[in-house]
Structure 1
Amino acid sequence: MVLALFRKSTIEPPADIEAASLRSDRFRLEREVDWQRLDSIVTALEKNRPRRISDEDLLELPVLYRKTASSLAVARETSLDSATLDYLEALVRRAWFQIYGPRMGLFGWLRRFLGGGWSASVRAIWLDICIALAVMVAGTLVGWLLVDSDERWYYSLVSGGMAGGRTPGADPEMLRESLGTAESADGLGIFAAYLFSNNTGVCIMAFALGFAFGVPTLLLLVYNLSLLGAMYWVFAEAGLGVDFAAWLSVHGTTELGAILLSGAAGLHVGRTMAFPGDRSILAAMRTAGVRAAQVMAGCSIMLIVAGLLEGYVRQLVGDTPARFAIGGTMLLIWVLYFALVPAPRERDT
């Protein structure tokens, strides 16, 4: 009896393995033609040779993909051999990428983004841009008027590190020298570096705080532009208001433009949350989030350009009319780009 049981136990496993192998072979033979057909189509697409694919195969591609994905599901449930599973998983993954994967690379995306995607997103939030611009102008006026009414407000708005000696009642000659070029620009070098890093942080915060219905974004814009108004008051009182405006315009038309768009993007998100319209909040937020993200991606480009202008051009050009010309040219370039570059055509996607 014991010997019989032992013989039975030694005979049954090979029979089970043989049955599983036969089941796997039968499964593969019944479907292998479709797998090979899908494999050849996907290989041609991966090699960027779509002309080698017949019209019939191209039309059958989605059907073949679904059949193969179904085969993979069955193979997993029935625990077929690992070689078949590995092959099907790889084939389904490759086919999915060709059917549903992104249709353009990094350079294609960048070409589309700069070729109209960014400008279209900016135009779509025009109302938020107008609101943010009005708030920024108001913030600058607030800073000016507060310091003009009481100079002690200057020390509350502008930190000592940012001021760097440019305080109410400072020597006009020292202020003039701080507006100079590389040989004499040590004074405002600290201020310029602070301004750039500060404005980068402002852009990020202005966008990130938009989720709170845009209120913190507006307050942030008012506060940071009041610093500019307070600083401008100091130079204007010394008779250097025009020179300071020229100095600031070189990089300011780009840098402040980035702050404006960042604030508008944050405000757009907050305003969409508060007033989703006929759509659900999630649906409205999805659309607003994609649009605002595109605007913010462009703001990073503007900040890089502003950094180059601030670090090189402003340090080399000291003539006031020339500085105004540079700042005005940059402002014109941005306005024309956002106003005139059309959105990319849908068939290019």
Structure 2
Amino acid sequence: MREALFIKKNKDRWTQIEQQPASDPDEMATEFIQLVDDLSYAKTFYPTSRTARYLNIAASRMYLGIYKNRKAEVNPLARFCKYDLPQTIRRHHKVLLLAFGIFTLFFIVGVCSARGDESFIRGMLGNAYVNMTEDNIAQGKPFGVYANENALYMWLWILKNNIFVSIQMLAGGVLVGLLPIFQLVFEALRLGAFEALFAQKGLAGDFVLTVFIHGTLEISALIISGAAGIILGKGFLFPGTLSRLEAFKRSAKDACKIILGLVPVFITAAFFEGFVTRYEFMPVWGKLLILVGSLTFIIGYFIIYPIRLERKGGFAHA
């Protein structure tokens, strides 16, 4: 193409970009890519021309305009929390929904199975635990189990146990995702039996307000851990257009990111269980504040924020 024709064909667009640059991030990115393409063409066919110099200046100016207000992400942890983890979570939202659906379904099954069947409750929770809980209820301290141990010891022991379970779920994903599904089913049935134990004593509301002080974060993290294991198995079973090995490596990377991102959630949940849940007679408003705050964080960070970040084009930073 002759240089004059090349200029005539693109001049109006160049003028538009120079005088009225787009404000939308996606449109701005498109304009920048087009400008760089034009610059590459001009350098190839008219390397010493004024057109090539003009496009080089325009592209440089646009590049500076895009990045001049962007703060450098010098903190890898901040970058991980703001971009990498939400991007990974958003990519697997359907799997998280599947894990949540499995857990919810079998929690309901657990509650229904335990109603009027004490043997189911004892089978899921163990005779010793049920007997201890019934003794505590008879003494007017239905949730006394949370106050029986040293708070610091409980915090560290529960944290270790929860992280171990999450890693177990992740590793179980190697078995084409079956083990994390089984663990989600088992934990949901146990929670259903646990709830039914208190409901039979007329303490269903107290159960929610007390146990879910820590349970909101703990159960949410458990479900997300199960999803991470399923993601690992899914990459092997359904590689798509990638090789099975490459798909498995990518899914393993995503699953590990998710588990790593859950560590602060596990720390906070264990802290609540060790130091806060033991105060079963704390004001209802205090319990609700922690419960609603925890639920808001889970929904906000793991559901709403990744969606909004994607819509704003924030994934371009990741």
The TM-score range, normalised by the shorter chain, is 0.5 to 0.7
From 299, 313, 316, give the equivalent of 2:262.
299
Q: Which amino acid aligns with 1:323?
A: K
1:319 and 2:283 aligned: yes
Q: Distance in 2 between matches of 1:326 and 1:199?
A: 20
Cα gap change, 1:275/1:346 in structure 2, threshold over 3 Å: closer, same or farther? closer
From 80, 96, 100, give the equivalent of 1:133.
100
Cα gap change, 1:324/1:347 in structure 2, threshold over 3 Å: closer, same or farther? closer
TM-superposed deviation, 1:301: 1.6
What pairs with 1:1-349 in structure 2 (closer than 5 Å)? 108-163=75-130, 165-167=132-134, 172-174=137-139, 176-179=140-143, 185-186=147-148, 198-316=161-279, 318-338=282-302, 339-340=304-305, 342=309
Q: Which amino acid aligns with 2:237?
A: A
Q: Which amino acid aligns with 2:284?
A: T
Instruction: Say which structure, 1 or 2, has more relative contact order (CA 8 Å, 6+ apart).
Output: 2
Task: Give 5+ residue unaligned stretches, structure 2.
Answer: 1-71
Cα gap change, 1:195/1:155 in structure 2, threshold over 3 Å: closer, same or farther? farther
RMSD of Structure 2 on Structure 1 (CA)? 3.1
SS in 1 for 2:241: coil
Normalization by structure 1: what TM-score?
0.61
Task: Give 5+ residue unaligned stretches, structure 1.
Answer: 1-103
Cα gap change, 1:127/1:146 in structure 2, threshold over 3 Å: closer, same or farther? same
Contact 1:269-1:292 within 8 A present in 2 as well: yes
SS in 2 for 1:211: coil
Q: CA deviation digits over 1:176-226, x for unaligned, max 9?
A: 5133698xx339989998866554332122111011111121111111221
Contact 1:258-1:303 within 8 A present in 2 as well: yes
How many residue pairs align between the two structures? 240
Q: Distance in 1 between matches of 2:120 and 2:76?
A: 48
Contact 1:162-1:194 within 8 A present in 2 as well: no
Q: CA deviation digits over 1:290-331, x for unaligned, max 9?
A: 111110101112101111222223334722342122111111
Contact 1:164-1:187 within 8 A present in 2 as well: no
Aligned residues with identical type, % of pairs: 24
Match of 1:76 in 2: none
Cα gap change, 1:327/1:346 in structure 2, threshold over 3 Å: closer, same or farther? closer
Q: Which moved more, 1:209-218 or 1:305-314?
A: 305-314
Normalization by structure 2: what TM-score?
0.66
Cα gap change, 1:205/1:323 in structure 2, threshold over 3 Å: closer, same or farther? same
SS in 2 for 1:302: helix
TM-superposed deviation, 1:150: 2.1
Q: Which amino acid aligns with 1:259?
A: L
SS in 2 for 1:315: coil
SS in 2 for 1:166: helix
Contact 2:87-2:315 within 8 A present in 1 as well: no
Question: Bigger radius of gyration, 1 or 2?
Answer: 1
Cα gap change, 1:207/1:257 in structure 2, threshold over 3 Å: closer, same or farther? same
Cα gap change, 1:191/1:115 in structure 2, threshold over 3 Å: closer, same or farther? closer
Q: Distance in 1 between matches of 2:133 and 2:293?
A: 28
Contact 2:177-2:231 within 8 A present in 1 as well: yes
Contact 1:178-1:186 within 8 A present in 2 as well: no
Q: Distance in 2 between matches of 1:237 and 1:188?
A: 29
